[in-house]
Amino acid sequence: MFEKLAHSEERYERIEAELSEPSVLSDGDKYRKLMLEYKNLTPLVEKFREYRQVKTEAEDAAAMMEEESDRELRAMAAEEWKLCRDKLATLEEELKFLLIPRDPNDDKNVVVEIRGGAGGEEAALFAYVLYRMYTMYAADAGFRTELLGCNETELGGFKEVTFMVSGDGAYSKFKFESGVHRVQRVPETETQGRIHTSTATVAVLPEAEEVEVDIPMTDVEIETCKSSGAGGQHVNKTESAIRLIHKPTGIVVECQDERSQYKNKDKAFRVLRAKLYDMKQKEQSDRIAGERKSQVGTGDRSERIRTYNYPQGRVTDHRIGKTIYSLDAFLNGSITEITDALAAADAAEKLKNNTETV
């Protein structure tokens, strides 16, 4: 562990020196990447330096216990040594967590897709509730959201909706939301007060840059058509809507949110790129023999991960067995109690796996 820490500190110091070089300062892309790595290494290096300082203090206290003839000073040194020993144990555990390999996608923007599942119109209305919840959560976290496309129903629900969440660490905050979300409530259209169960699926995809996913134009069929849906003077008048068909995979992406065909095309390619990047990552992961996956993971999209029960006012995350009774606040974007618990469970599982492989 300490060899890794020393290596990380060396890398940190090299980056620190590089960031002041004129050639790096003039290269915006290289500077940005180095700054990101520097930022990610800073907590680990600072904690390692604190550990070394406390260790030095412990060694000094131990030496004083051996060499000092004054009984009172030896007692003070012994107390200092005990405090340092306890602090070193705490710092060592913190360093183990900080050494857990970061998900390389954690700092990326994300594309979030929500689709109504079982339950017809009620499922579509629940998809809208989830969209509202996530956009409120993103705003509270300081992220920007951008609607990429949606298919609305007459009652204001979403058959499907796709949006981008942008900002440092967006993927790290949303990556555990992929999967099937279940709602139990009495629909507004229910005359006898019966509770219905409906579902919506959520997919969270890290945004891919063009250099990460090369899409030959010969692989893409581009169709234009008139926008459809409620509202907006441009609807059904200009062929601004875009449909992309990726021929090798059969992936279809549609975007009609913007008046400009060019903007819709740009958004559609961003979604397609994210889908292909996600597919590529899953294929690479499956090829790694013997890889142990986290119990929490980023969610199988066919797995039921969470239940929202309106009559009891509760939210239950089935992956970690956690239930909270603050449904209204949760649906208004206050979801950190569960997302933080998921992140902690994931980190604990990764730490356990790392320890077992040492």
pLDDT in tens, 155-194: 889 999 999 999 988 999 999 999 999 999 988 766 677 8
If one compares 248 and 323, the residue with the highest pLDDT of the two is 323
In the predicted model, what is the mean pLDDT of residues 76-89?
A: 91
pLDDT at 296: 45
pLDDT band at 288 (very low <50, low <70, confident <90, very high): very low
pLDDT at 73: 86
What is the overall mean pLDDT for the chain?
83
pLDDT at 35: 86
pLDDT at 130: 96
| Contact (CB, 8 A) for 50 and 87 | no
pLDDT band at 81 (very low <50, low <70, confident <90, very high): very high
At the top level of CATH, the class of 217-287 is: alpha beta
Using CA atoms, how far apart are residues 168 and 309, in angstroms rounded to an integer? 32
User: Can you read off the two tokens belonging to residue 4?
Assistant: 């890794």
CA separation, residue 292 to residues 49, 99, 286, 332, 353 (Å): 31, 17, 11, 35, 7
pLDDT band at 302 (very low <50, low <70, confident <90, very high): low
Evaluate if residue 257 carries a pLDDT over 60: yes
Evaluate if residue 68 carries a pLDDT over 80: no
pLDDT in tens, 97-148: 788 777 788 888 999 999 998 888 899 999 999 999 999 999 999 999 989 8
Evaluate if residue 267 carries a pLDDT over 80: yes
pLDDT at 351: 76
Amino acid at 330: F
Q: Per mean pLDDT, which range of 126-140, 221-235, 285-299 is the poorest? A: 285-299
Q: What residue spans in the chain does CATH classification 3.30.70.1660 cover?
A: 110-211+294-351
User: Can you read off the two tokens belonging to residue 146?
Assistant: 């951008």
pLDDT band at 298 (very low <50, low <70, confident <90, very high): very low
Evaluate if residue 290 carries a pLDDT over 60: no
Q: What residue spans in the chain does CATH classification 1.20.58 cover?
A: 2-98
Evaluate if residue 297 carries a pLDDT over 80: no
Q: Which CATH architecture has domain 2-98?
A: Up-down Bundle (1.20)
pLDDT band at 354 (very low <50, low <70, confident <90, very high): low
- Residue 232 CB partners (closer than 8 Å, separation 6+): 259
Evaluate if residue 4 carries a pLDDT over 50: yes
| Contact (CB, 8 A) for 221 and 205 | no
Evaluate if residue 332 carries a pLDDT over 90: yes
- Residue 77 CB partners (closer than 8 Å, separation 6+): 61, 62, 64, 65, 68
Q: What residue spans in the chain does CATH classification 3.30.160.20 cover?
A: 217-287
At the top level of CATH, the class of 110-211+294-351 is: alpha beta
In the predicted model, what is the mean pLDDT of residues 333-354?
A: 86
pLDDT at 292: 39
Using CA atoms, how far apart are residues 341 and 333, in angstroms rounded to an integer? 16
In the predicted model, what is the mean pLDDT of residues 211-240?
A: 66
Q: Per mean pLDDT, which range of 67-76, 84-93, 309-318 is the poorest? A: 67-76
pLDDT band at 293 (very low <50, low <70, confident <90, very high): very low
pLDDT in tens, 28-41: 878 888 888 888 88
Q: In what order do the strands lie in the sheet with 220-225?
A: 220-225, 241-246, 251-255
pLDDT at 316: 96
